[in-house]
Each structure stands twice: as structure tokens, then as C-alpha cells.
């Protein structure tokens, strides 16, 4: 299990530029425990206080915001190496605005806030990385809210395809989510997503082949 933990920490931005020797020292000496969740377990509900410091070492979780009408928006996915809700670790108002559920069997490395403070207080690299993590989250959420609140359905789909293309380094986008999951991530209905993708295909912007989408003309997205 130590190997699994070490692998997760090497993927966690909190441990960027940390030597392998230091990483092994942290795994061996930092006070922590492993907490396991089954698939589709509720990790935390919106409105509950966030009391721990967790890093995903196995599995995957999804954070969703649900309106009073029942409309669900996927805010983010938490995969191996992700620090869970870092902005709420030291927040005065630490009530979670989203609910988090496991997508598969998931294990987190859990530390108390006091032990986490001790860890980053004694390591300037970790402290700097934690500040950078908070800054990156702020940027991510600002972009996310702009897309959700200002973009039309067509603009949201175009944004998703361009972003996925950039990450995959190709005009051929291989979807790793279902259509329903993609729709939820932008706060739209699945049928609106399918209709928009069909319209984009009709005007020659994309070609859809199952989970393989080829961008033919970016100017039409």
C-alpha cells in the first residue's frame, strides 16, 4: 500500500518538486490513515462541514452541485493524486457547497488539519505548492462559472471539444465520459447536448463516431 500512496503523492500538485527521498520520508512519518469507500458511496453532502485533509490514492469521485429544482451540475472530478477541497481546509465557513460521491471503489489518505499544518509548516516547498494549488482552483472555478453562466449550449459544447482536444494534443477527441456526464458537467440536458452535436456535425464542424469525435473546422465551433 505504501507504493500506491507514493504513486498518488507523485501525482499530487502539493508534492511538486519534492525529492523521492523526501516523499518516502513523508509517507513513512506523516500521521495519516487510509479510508476506503465503496462505489457510489456518499463522501460528503452539500452543507456538511469539511473536517479532514484527504488525498485520493485509489479510485475516483465526482463533485456535484444540485439546485432546489433538482438540476445537477458536475463541478469537478477527483482522481488519484487530487487533494480534496483544499480551499475549505482552513476556511472559516467550511460548509461544502457541493456533494461528493464515489464513481468507483475509492481510497483516500486522510490527515487531521493539525497534522497537515505541521507538515506544511516544516516544509517550504509544500507550503508554496499549497498556495499554488489554491490559486489554480480559483482560476479553474472562475473559468467554470463563466462557462456555466454566460455560454450558450453551442458555446459550451465547442469549449468542451476545444479543451479536450488541447489536453489530448489532437483534433481527434476520445471521450472518457458518457454523454450524460458531459451534459451534467455543463449544466445542460442530455438531449440538448446530442442535438447540438448533431447540428455541429451537419455544418461540418465535427464528425461523430461513437466516443470518437473529430474536429473538422474549429471556426464553426
pLDDT at 77: 92
Q: Where are the beta strands (DSSP E) in the chain?
A: 33-37, 42-44, 53-58, 61-66, 72-78, 99-102, 106-111, 172-174, 206-209, 212-215
Torsion angles phi and psi, residue 168, rounded to 5 = -90, -10
**In the sheet where 99-102 sits, what is the strand order?**
42-44, 99-102, 61-66, 72-78
pLDDT band at 160 (very low <50, low <70, confident <90, very high): very high
Which position has the higher pLDDT, 15 or 67? 15
pTM: 0.77
pLDDT at 129: 97
pLDDT at 112: 96
- Name the least confident of 17-21, 66-70, 99-103: 66-70
| Arithmetic mean of pLDDT, 193-210 | 96
pLDDT band at 72 (very low <50, low <70, confident <90, very high): confident
**Helix, strand, coil distribution of the chain in percent, nearest 5:** 45, 25, 30
| Domains of the chain, CATH where assigned | 2-148 (2.60.120.10), 153-220 (1.10.10.10)
pLDDT band at 96 (very low <50, low <70, confident <90, very high): very high
d(CA 155, CA 162): 10
pLDDT band at 157 (very low <50, low <70, confident <90, very high): very high
- DSSP state, 49? B
d(CA 160, CA 138): 19
Q: Over the stretch 161-190, which tens digit does the pLDDT of each residue have? A: 999 999 999 999 999 889 998 998 888 999
How buried is 55 (Cβ within 10 angstroms: 0-12 exposed, 13-18 middle, 19+ buried)? buried
Amino acid at each position: 500500500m505504501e507504493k500506491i500512496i507514493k504513486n498518488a503523492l507523485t501525482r499530487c500538485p502539493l508534492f511538486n518538486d519534492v525529492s523521492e527521498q523526501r516523499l518516502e520520508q513523508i509517507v513513512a512519518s506523516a500521521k495519516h490513515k487510509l479510508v476506503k469507500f465503496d462505489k457510489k458511496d456518499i463522501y460528503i453532502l452539500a452543507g456538511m462541514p469539511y473536517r479532514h485533509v484527504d488525498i485520493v490514492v485509489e479510485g475516483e469521485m465526482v463533485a456535484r452541485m444540485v439546485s432546489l429544482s433538482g438540476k445537477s451540475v458536475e463541478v469537478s472530478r477527483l482522481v488519484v493524486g487530487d487533494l480534496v477541497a483544499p480551499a475549505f481546509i482552513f476556511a472559516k465557513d467550511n460548509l461544502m457547497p457541493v456533494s461528493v460521491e464515489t464513481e468507483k471503489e475509492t481510497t483516500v489518505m486522510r490527515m487531521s488539519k493539525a497534522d497537515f499544518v505541521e507538515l506544511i509548516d516544516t516544509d517550504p516547498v509544500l507550503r508554496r505548492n499549497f498556495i499554488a494549488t489554491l490559486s489554480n482552483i480559483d482560476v479553474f472555478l472562475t473559468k467554470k462559472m463563466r462557462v456555466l453562466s454566460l455560454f450558450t449550449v453551442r458555446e459550451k459544447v465547442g469549449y468542451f471539444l476545444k479543451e479536450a482536444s488541447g489536453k489530448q494534443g489532437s483534433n481527434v477527441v476520445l471521450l472518457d465520459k458518457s454523454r450524460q456526464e458531459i451534459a451534467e458537467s455543463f449544466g445542460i440536458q442530455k438531449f440538448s447536448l446530442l442535438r447540438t452535436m448533431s447540428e455541429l456535425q451537419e455544418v461540418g464542424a465535427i464528425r461523430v463516431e461513437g466516443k470518437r469525435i473529430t474536429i473538422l473546422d474549429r471556426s464553426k465551433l
